[in-house]
Amino acid sequence: MMTDVKKPIRVLQMIAPAVAGRDGKRGVNGPELRIVNTRKLYDPSKIELIFTYDNQALLWDRFSPSIDKVINFTVKGKFDWKSIVKISKLIKIYNIDVVHTQGPGSLDFFASIAAKYTKCKVVITRPSNIDAQLFPLWKKKIYKWFDRYSILNSNAIIAISKEGYEYLQEKYLIQDKLHLIHNGVDLDFFKPPSKDDIFNIRQTYGLSEKSIIIGMSAQLTPVKGWDDFIDTIGSLYKKNPLIVGMIIGDGPRYSDLVEKIKLLGLEECIIFTGHQKTVRGALNALDIFLFTSYSEGLSVSIIEALASGLPCVVTSVGGSKIQVINGHNGYRVNPGDVGEMTRRVLSLVNNKSLRRVMGGRSRKLCIKYFDSHEMVFNYQKIYCNLFNSCKNNT
């Protein structure tokens, strides 16, 4: 007697890359990192992953042609209505059971229409809230209309922070399909370096052992507050010539930031690493992590810094409350408050033992809340629950 063999659930994870500037430069966003870094953690007996991504994006070569199924596709903006047809075709060709999008809103919107048309389940990860975005009011109203359709027509919504969860619940009353799942990183990969590691990494960047290195890892875009980062480093350098600022990443503002650093005469104390295949090495060269962003969901960059055992000074945006506890593993400051950023970072510069203690606490906090294995386990559970409910209803 033959028995049915359970096939893995086929999940289409759709990745929207960071937007390139006019000069072609682009960075890497949180959803890109989240998907690419965790794709090998899924149980292949339960989940079969297929990806859509842009072959011009920076993490394209991280996929293995012999192992990963990755399709060169991305939604080209808010008015790319043809993408509905393309996504529908992908769902049918690859016999997809669940579509999972991770923003922006245009991707969520078009994918949710395609999924509804093909009777496929759809999961949306909502990294941040539209009300918290730096958009004009008229744009927010339009985006909220699209957002409402996507959320109400999805089968599951994943909020990555408590703030995001509460916002979505209050706004849409979707308790039955709303899940809180924090972003996570591989804690075996991102970890505090040994003394030898620190020495070797600093030599790679031509940095002195005596230097106190303050860095930030993010896209070079306006929302990340890079002008504040540069101004803070400039203020600190005046007080301590051993200060070095490290800009980790790439993006459309690269030329602007280079020009600003020249105008301020800070070429000697600020270095660019450019895009890094992995930021682990650069993070391991740091003494302090400074994050100046004006808008976030739950920053993957901060999580990587926590896992690397760094004390952090971050802006109080998005889910930073759970990432950095004032006076425990660092400090939170108001966005744009360069004076307070300078004061808080300086308190760490002048106290090596405090840096060490806070860095250890960062690591422990990361282990407690931001393990990528836990994140993937919860994603798999959602996929399985949706697929089973789909089977039970047919």
Give tens-digit pLDDT for 44-66. 999 999 999 999 999 999 999 88
At residue 191, does pLDDT exceed 90? yes
In this predicted model, what pLDDT tens digit does every residue of 278-311 receive, in sequence order? 899 999 999 999 999 999 989 999 999 999 999 9
Domains of the chain: 9-184+372-392 (3.40.50.2000), 195-369 (3.40.50.2000)
SS3 59: coil
Average pLDDT, the chain: 91
Kind of pairing between the strands at 312-315 and 330-333? parallel
Lowest-confidence region among 107-121, 130-144, 236-250, 252-266: 130-144
At residue 19, does pLDDT exceed 50? yes
- Residue 105: pLDDT band (50, 70, 90) is confident
What lies within 8 Å, CB to CB, of 326 at 6+ separation is 332
Q: Which helix (H) or strand (E) holds 199?
A: helix 195-204
Percent of the chain with pLDDT over 90: 70
Going from the C-alpha of 274 to that of each of 255, 270, 280, 299, 335, the distances in angstroms are 12, 12, 14, 19, 24
> Quick one: which of 308, 337, 307, 332 has its CA closest to 320?
332
Q: What is the token pair recorded at 337?
A: 């408050």
SS3 217: strand
- Residue 1: pLDDT band (50, 70, 90) is very low
Task: In whole angstroms, give the CA distance from residue 39 to residue 51.
Answer: 10
Kind of pairing between the strands at 212-217 and 178-180? unpaired
Q: String of b and e for 40-57 (b: at least 16 CB within 10 Å)?
A: ebbeeebbbbbbbbbeeb
Per-residue pLDDT at 394:
42
In this predicted model, what pLDDT tens digit does every residue of 363-374 receive, in sequence order? 999 999 999 999
In single-letter form, the type of residue at position 346 comes to L
Q: What is the token pair recorded at 257?
A: 């930031």
In this predicted model, what pLDDT tens digit does every residue of 200-241 receive, in sequence order? 888 888 888 899 999 999 999 999 999 999 999 999 999 999
Segment 188-199 shows an average pLDDT of 91
Going from the C-alpha of 369 to that of each of 253, 288, 375, the distances in angstroms are 32, 21, 10
At residue 388, does pLDDT exceed 90? no
Q: How many CB atoms lie within 10 A of CB 172?
A: 15
- Residue 167: pLDDT band (50, 70, 90) is confident
At residue 43, does pLDDT exceed 80? yes
Lowest-confidence region among 141-155, 267-281, 333-347: 141-155
At residue 177, does pLDDT exceed 80? yes
